[in-house]
Structure formats: C-alpha cells, structure tokens
Amino acid sequence: MVRVQNFILLYISVLMIISQTPLAKYLLFVSIPLFVILITKHLKINSFSFKKILFLNLIVLIALFSGVVHIYKDNLYYFTRDIMYFIQAPFFLIIGIYLYQEIRDFRKILKIIVISSFVVTLYKISYILFHPEIFLLSALKIRYAYDLSNGAAIITILILLYSRKVKYYLFNGKFEIIMLLISFLSIVISFSRTNYVLLIVIIFLPFLNKIKASLYVYFSLMIFITMLIFGRSFIHMDGGGVQGTDFMSKLEHSFQEMTIHDYNSRIEVINDWRGFEAHLGLQQYYKGNVLELFFGQGIGTIVYTPAWVFQGADTNLDILPFFHNGYITLLLKTGLFGFILFFSWLYILLKTSLRLLRTSHDNQQKLEGFILQASVFIILFQTLVVQGIFKTTTPVLLLVLIGISLQAYATRIKKALIP
C-alpha cells in the first residue's frame, strides 16, 4: 500500500514538473495511466466534489455536442484537437480529487506540489546563471528573448504564504522563506503582467475573507468582464500604438489591448492583438443562429484572420482556434449558456471557499478555504488575458490543487455524517 502511494506521489511530481515545460502539450496522454490507476482503486467516492465541478463538465459536454452537430463544416483536425484542450481541465481536477482520496494526507500532497513547483522555479532562475548577458537587456527584450514566465512560482507563493498565515507549516521556517524569496524573484524577472497581477491578488485576497466583500468583488469583476465583451458601445477606446517601447508603456497600454472594438489599420492590430482576435471571435459568434447563440458553434470552430492583416506573410496566426480572451472562446464554442455556466461554476467554488473559512475548526480547513478562494480569482483573471483553463497547456498545478482541496472538504463532511 505504502509503495503504491509513493509511486503515485512520484508520478504526480513528475507530471507537475512536465506541466511547466515544453513537454506539457503531451501531458494529457502521459497522465492517463495515473488516471486509470486512481479510478480503479477508488470506484466508490463521495459525490460532493463531483457536484462542485458539475457545471464545468457540462461546459465540456455542450462544446462537444455543438461540435458534433457542426462537424460537417469544421476541420476534423481542429475538432479532435479541441477535444483534448477542453477535457484537460475536468481531467486534472478529477485527478486531484482521486489523489486526495488515495493519499488522505493534505500536508504531504501540498509538499509535493510545492517542491515540484520550486524545482521548476529553480530551473527558470538558472537562466540567469547561464545567460549573464540578460542584465544588459531591457525588460521587454528579457520577456520575449527568454522563457522566464513562471506560473509554478505563483503556486509556490500561494501555498506557502497562506499556509504560514493560518499556521499550517509545511517545511522548516527558513527553508520556506528562501523558497518564497526565490519564487518572488522569479516572478519579478519574468516581466509578465499576468504574473504581477496574480501576485497582487494572492497577497490581498485574505483581506476578503468576509462573505459580502468577497462576493461583491466577484460580481463586480463578472460585470466588468461581461461589459468588456458585450459593451463596446459603452466602453470606447480609440485605436493607437503603444506610447514607447519600454515595459512601463506596455503596462499602461494593458487595458486598451484587451478592449474589443473595430480595427481599421495593421498598426492597431499589431499593438492591440488580443483585442483584435477577440473582436474576430465575437463577430463569428454573432453570425450564429439562435441555437448557436445559446449553445455555441462547438469544438472545432475556427476563425480566419482577414487577408489584409498579414498581407500574404507566412504566419500561423491566419487561423484562430482559441483566443487570449478565454471568455470569447467559451462564447463561440459553448454559447451564452456555457458562458453563464462558467461564471456559475466559479461562484460555486467561491461559496464553498467562504463556507470553509466561515466554519473552519482547524488550520487545514482555513487553508483549503483560502486556496479555493484564490483559485477562483486566479481563473477569473487568467481566462480574460491568457485563455484560462481551456487551452493547450492548462494550469495543471492549480487544477490539482482545487481537486485535492474539494476532496479534503468532502472527506471531512463524510466523517461528520458518520455516527
């Protein structure tokens, strides 16, 4: 029994490291044996956790059903590829659920996740040692010349910061501080606007442990995102280029880059590419009939970039199967129903996290609540700017973390019900 558990922990550790490398595109296939092992060992499991991800599973089913209906007009390659991208999120959530059911040791699993994340961070940091010329480059050149963006560091900080806050210590205090500082350095040198925002979110979220405050922020962000997508007549931004070529100019340009509006020149398209591709996706969505508006055009749906944008240049951006703005992907492939289900799923996770924080009797329960709460806002933001959980390389570490937190809560509930 112990040997099997150790094998599973080693397996999941390797998967978590792979998930942060270029090999991540093969992760789903490499994970299937682990998935089969866990399921066959635990055929009977508390349904609580699965109820919490029901809406996410429905989104995948809607995308699949709508795609099958439209497969006659879609490219089979994109159809099969989309299946892989859409099923990854529930797949790794379920792995997290079954992983906790197998190990039943929240601290041990968190240690595995932190160590795996930190190994990736050390690898990213090593770029500096082998490329000292990096210090002579500007922030933007560092951002695009070296692959320093590091989602693993975000997970390390999330777990260690919150575990220390609730006094649920995982490692020696000095070792934790070293890991936190190195992970923070990794985020700083990544010059990733997304990672900067996520770091701020993680630091300030514990102040939203009041139910009303947390729900108010969630619904405010939900309305903002909805307005950003559908309210082009209310949010007007004039097109234009980035004022300067430094990182600060890029930061200042962030909101305009996300805004969806009409584009008339190649300069606008180049400077506001995220907004432009979202604009194309939204245009394609509005071309659908009534059923397609509600249930989407399904997996396999692609959008073609107008010829005038690249003027015959050889590029892989002439076909867009997914968008940086993941909400546009949801709309186009699962319709308004899938769009609403996604926000509903995040709301269910948020309510679960707040219930944990409100009724917590021990430090582990508090930590589970903080992890789920942070995960909601991380996914909410990532979906807006970097595709979110429906993409080529889904955030495996985060999804597994959500899965084990849900199942830890479910196990506690089951024990409370047993007389």
> Tens digits of per-residue pLDDT, 230-264?
876 455 555 544 445 555 666 656 677 777 877 77
Q: Specify if 153 maps to a domain.
A: no
Note the pLDDT of residue 419: 44
Note the pLDDT of residue 243: 47
* Torsion-angle region of 320 (φ positive above 0: left; ψ -120 to 50: alpha; else: beta): beta
Q: Specify if 169 maps to a domain.
A: no
Q: What whole-number distance in Å separates Cα of residue 195 and Cα of residue 65?
A: 35
Q: Specify if 167 maps to a domain.
A: no
342 near 330, Cβ under 8 Å?
yes
Note the pLDDT of residue 52: 93
Note the pLDDT of residue 70: 77
354 near 372, Cβ under 8 Å?
no
Range of the domain at 71: 2-105+211-217+329-417
Residue-averaged pLDDT of the chain? 85
Q: Specify if 172 maps to a domain.
A: no
Q: Specify if 150 maps to a domain.
A: no
Start-end of H helices in 191-306: 193-204, 211-230, 247-252, 254-258, 266-271, 273-286, 290-295
Q: Specify if 85 maps to a domain.
A: yes
Task: Give the contacts of 401 (CB within 8 A, at least 6 positions apart).
Answer: 96, 113, 155, 159, 371, 375
* Phi, psi of 332, deg, nearest 5: -65, -40
Place of tokens 């989407």: 296
Q: Specify if 402 maps to a domain.
A: yes
In the chain, which residues have pLDDT < 70?
1, 43, 72-74, 135-147, 209, 232-254, 312-316, 414-419
* Torsion-angle region of 335 (φ positive above 0: left; ψ -120 to 50: alpha; else: beta): left
How many structural domains comprise the chain? 1
**Consecutive H or E run containing 139:** helix 139-145
Note the pLDDT of residue 333: 95
Note the pLDDT of residue 417: 52
Beta bridge partners of 304: 319
Instruction: Look up the pTM and report it.
Output: 0.91
Q: How many CA atoms lie within 13 A of 247 on its CB side?
A: 15
Structural tokens at position 405: 């937190």
Q: Specify if 69 maps to a domain.
A: yes
* Phi, psi of 143, deg, nearest 5: -60, -40
155 near 379, Cβ under 8 Å?
no
